[in-house]
Every structure is written in structure tokens, then in C-alpha cells.
Amino acid sequence: MIRSWFEVIAAGPAKTAEKVTAILIDRGSPGVWEDEQDGKRILKAYIPADSSLNRKKIDLNKELKKYGWTSTVSLFENQDWLTKWKEHIKPIRISQRLIIKPTWKKVARKPVRIIVEIDPGMAFGTGSHASTMMCLKAADRFANVIKGSSILDVGTGSGILAIVAARLGAKQVVGIDIDPEALKVARENVRLNNVNKKVILSTKPLEKINGKFSVIFANIIAEELIKIADLLKAKMVDNGFLILSGILQERADEVMPVYKGLGFRFFKAYTKGEWVCLIFLKNILPVSRSHRRTTQRSHPILASR
């Protein structure tokens, strides 16, 4: 159990908050708190401590300065910290039927409800962050496509999206993450929700994942989404849906043309605060009006529009 942490409080422009958040999570923070003060974005994070406080201060300040951010780093010792932060995580209602709740909270169970239990542990993904919430909303919206299909969750974190897909009736779900600690948490969450037989978790890189998928979730930063665009296309079936999140609104114009250039058709966008979730459809190329009508009738999502 980690007893000591570095508390990092960083301030800077919103346009580079995404990169700074990624840096803090990469350095070991289980999550990043966001706020705004005097027109600046404020981020607070906790990084596992070692003896090199001064060196870490200097290195982190240099790294954040590249993006126009300043930071203060101080030693934070509190044996109850991992317990206290749980007080801030509440059940989240995604829709009338889909509810995400932490394991330590109670929610009334009803026949029509799908209740997913998540213990985020040291992994990112409680459902409360805007980018995750939009993916969950999309999953609920695309339940007809997910049911009976193979699903891929890139950057699965706590496993929340993979588990929801399984609970919505997916035939099989593959969740991948480069962080082995995140996968430990995800495996426990998979067990808690009794979807062990449907969800496969792996640290394999995307290019080594076998098969093709009807729906792919990728809730990671815009820079990475641009890098892996070709790989995501290669892993999708024709007429499959690609759900991309973790994108700041000002970076959507960078992501959009990359995927359109690969032949994806833009389908829908969700926005929440400064974040956007982009949804694409692969390889719908109507030749005529009659062909378009046939396609729309045969596709469960397009037919419901």
C-alpha cells in the first residue's frame, strides 16, 4: 500500500490541459481533478512518492512549462487518502436503464436496470469523467449493434466500457491497456460483474490483437487517436462503428479529417464541457437513393434515426 504521495497542483491554458493530464496519469496518478480559476485550468494529481522530491519537482516543472503550465509539488502523507477519495465518487445514471456505481454505494435494483459495479482502484475510469460518460452514453445508444457482436475497448483502464458492452449483450469483448496495474483492477471489476466468460483483457499492443470488431471504443488522448487511426480501421468490420473520446473540442478538427481521410463516415458527436466524443461509421458508400434506403433499413442504428 502506498503511504506517501506527491501532491501536484498545476495551472495553465485549457488548450494544453489534455497533454498535461496525460503526463500526470503517465507518472502514476490514479486520476486528475479539474477545476477553473481566474480563466486558467487547474489540475490536481497525486503521484506515488520516492526519495527524489526535489528532482521530480524540477523535472515535472520543466515538462509542464513546455505547454505553458506552472506547478507546485509537495509531499503529501495520509494513510487514509485512498479511502477518502472514494467519498467523491457517486453512482452515475447514464440512461433510464444503465447505472454505473462504485462498489461501496447502494442503488435500488429493478428488473429493467443494468447496474454495473466499478472499483476504480488505481485505474482511470469511474464513469464520472466527461470523456468516459460520453462513451457510456454511446454504448447505451448503440446497444442494438453491440448485442451479439465482438467489441474492442482500447485503453480499457478500469474496464468500465468493456464491462458495459458485455452487460449489453456483446458476444465477446476485448479490452487492452498498456498499464498492467490497470488490468489488475479491470480483471477484478470483470469478476465483480460476472462477465468473465465474455471479456478478455490484455496488455498486447493493438496491432497484435486478432480478429475484427463491430464496435471499437478508444477513450484516449487525441494525439494517440491520430497515431493509431490506420490500426483502428484495420481492426473494424465494414459497417462497424468507431467511438473516439478523450478529445478536447479544440482538437476535434485535427482528429476528424484523419478518419474521414481513411474513408470513415462521420455519424454523430457528443459534447460535454470542453470534451467531445466523435462517432464514425466505416465504409458506408451509398451509390443511389434506393441503395441508401436499403442500407438504412438494414442497419439497426441508421434505421432508428
Q: Kindly tell me if the per-residue pLDDT of 88 is higher than 70.
A: no
Task: Give the pLDDT confidence score for residue 272 in this predicted structure.
Answer: 87
- What is the per-residue pLDDT for 233? 97
User: How far apart are the C-alpha atoms of 148 and 80, rounded to whole Å?
Assistant: 43
In the predicted structure, residue 258 carries a pLDDT above the cut 90? yes
Q: What is the predicted pLDDT for the residue at 26?
A: 73
If pLDDT is split at 50, 70 and 90, which confidence band does 84 have? low
Phi/psi of residue 17, nearest 5 degrees:
-60, -35
- Indicate if the pLDDT at residue 301 is higher than 70: no
Is residue 278's pLDDT more than 90?
yes
Over the stretch 105-155, which tens digit does the pLDDT of each residue have?
787 787 778 988 887 665 556 667 788 889 999 999 999 999 999 999 999
Please tell me whether residue 176 adopts helix, strand or coil conformation.
strand
Mean of pLDDT over the chain:
83
Q: Which of 32-36, 139-143, 178-182, 196-200 has the lowest mean pLDDT?
A: 32-36
How many CA atoms within 13 Å lie on the side-chain side of 163? 31
Residue 182's nearest CA partner among 113, 126, 231, 138 is: 126
Helix/strand/coil for 302: helix
- Alpha carbon separation from 259 to 20, 99, 105, 228 (Å, rounded): 25, 31, 40, 10
**Residue 188, pLDDT score:** 92
Q: Is residue 210 over pLDDT 90? A: yes
Best CA proximity match to 134, nearest among 170, 107, 161, 166 = 161
Predicted local distance difference test score (pLDDT) of residue 264:
96
What's the CA gap between 135 and 222, in Å, rounded? Answer: 15
* 261 CB-near residues (< 8 Å, 6+ apart): none
| CATH numbers and ranges of domains, the chain | 4-84 (3.30.70.240), 123-304 (3.40.50.150)
pLDDT tens digits, 36-71? 777 788 888 887 776 666 677 788 888 899 999 998
CA distance 28 to 201: 21
Of 111-125, 158-172, 215-229, the poorest mean pLDDT is in 111-125
Q: Where are the beta strands (DSSP E) in the chain?
A: 4-12, 32-37, 40-48, 70-77, 92-93, 98-102, 114-118, 150-154, 172-176, 199-202, 213-219, 236-248, 264-272, 275-282
Phi-psi region of 201 (alpha: psi -120 to 50; beta: other; left: phi over 0): beta
pLDDT for res 211? 94
Q: How far apart are CA 17 and CA 32, in angstroms?
A: 11
User: 191 pLDDT exceeds 50?
Assistant: yes
Average pLDDT for 158-166: 95
User: Can you tell me the mean pLDDT for 170-190?
Assistant: 91
**Higher local confidence (pLDDT), 295 or 257:** 257
- What are all long-range contacts of 85-93, with beta carbons under 8 Å and residues at least 24 apart? 89/120, 89/126, 89/128, 90/128, 92/126, 92/127, 92/128, 92/133, 92/136
Residue with the bigger pLDDT between 100 and 82: it is 100
Q: Quick one: DSSP state of residue 305? A: -
- Predicted TM-score (pTM) of the model is 0.72
Is residue 288's pLDDT more than 60? no
Residue 213 has pLDDT above 80, yes or no: yes
Q: CA-to-CA distance for 178 and 176, rounded, in angstroms? A: 7
- pLDDT band at residue 2 under the 50/70/90 scheme: very low
pLDDT grade, residue 205 (50/70/90)? very high
